[in-house]
Amino acid sequence: MERKRKPFLMEIAGVELGTAQDDYLPLTLATSRGTIAYRYYQATHARCGAVFVSGVGGGFGTPSQGLYPQLCRVLARQSIASLWVRFRHPTILEESILDVLAGISYLSDAGIDTLALIGWSFGGAVVIQAAAHSDHVRTVVTLATQSYGVAPVAQLGPHCSVLLLHGTGDERLPPSCSEYAYDLANEPKRLIYYDGAGHALNEVADEVRQVVGDWIVEQLNVAQ
């Protein structure tokens, strides 16, 4: 089923891969709306991928004690490539959605067209909206999502599953934000609360890493 067309546009004018840094390649996309920076974790024979985004702080921020780079390395060993996004304008929802969609386009051109999107806080709304505008996304994972901007989650499912995680001790965004998104979402969906955990879910980092990693692998394998 075809999704709605994007209400905003971005053209990719150039691609640059930098020198390998640790486990990733710096990736830069020159676009009609500015330059976007990514960290690209390649994987051998990858047909599936994951896209990770942070919150309004911008940069390469990660929740849950290094969750994102840890998962990128774990997924690469299972032939799942990962792209970690740095927003151009981390407080502007529409521009951040475009940053994710540009990354999806890059992966699709590389033959990686079955995707998971993972977003923390503000990034939860970003990945939900990006999924609603892409036929390549098979699952969305949010960690301590905000409620503003998540209404398009109702457009997902059954083609795209949703996993929402939230700490009951979140000092920035109450668990009701994830509950709101869960109530709007179609099946398949799952909501997990972590008792006493804060906004970054640092207190339950090991459990979150296991749950999210297993979910991504399971959902992408089902989608193939």
**pLDDT of res. 9:** 86
**14 lies in some domain:** no
Q: Are 44 and 77 within 8 A, CB to CB?
A: no
**113 lies in some domain:** yes
**121 lies in some domain:** yes
Q: Global pTM? A: 0.95
Cα first-last separation, the chain: 17
**25 lies in some domain:** no
**pLDDT of res. 57:** 87
**pLDDT of res. 214:** 98
Q: Provide the CATH number for the domain around residue 139.
A: 3.40.50.1820
Q: Which two tokens stand for residue 150?
A: 């998540």
Cα(149)–Cα(181) distance, rounded to whole angstroms?
10
**197 lies in some domain:** yes
**183 lies in some domain:** yes
**pLDDT of res. 188:** 97
Full residue range of the structural domain in which residue 54 is found:
40-223
**pLDDT of res. 94:** 96
- β-partners of residue 35 are 30
**28 lies in some domain:** no
**30 lies in some domain:** no
Cβ count within 10 A of residue 68:
24
Tally of structural domains, the chain: 1
CA distances to 82, 128, 169, 210 from 38, rounded to whole Å, are: 10, 19, 31, 24
- In a structure prediction context, what are the per-residue pLDDT tens digits for the chain, which is 224 residues long? 334 444 568 999 999 999 999 899 999 999 999 999 999 999 999 999 999 999 998 789 999 999 999 999 999 999 999 999 999 999 999 999 999 999 999 999 999 999 999 999 999 999 999 999 999 999 999 999 999 999 999 999 899 999 999 999 999 999 999 999 999 999 999 999 999 999 999 999 999 999 999 999 999 997 66
Cα(87)–Cα(126) distance, rounded to whole angstroms?
10
Cβ count within 10 A of residue 158:
8
Q: How many residues does the chain have?
A: 224
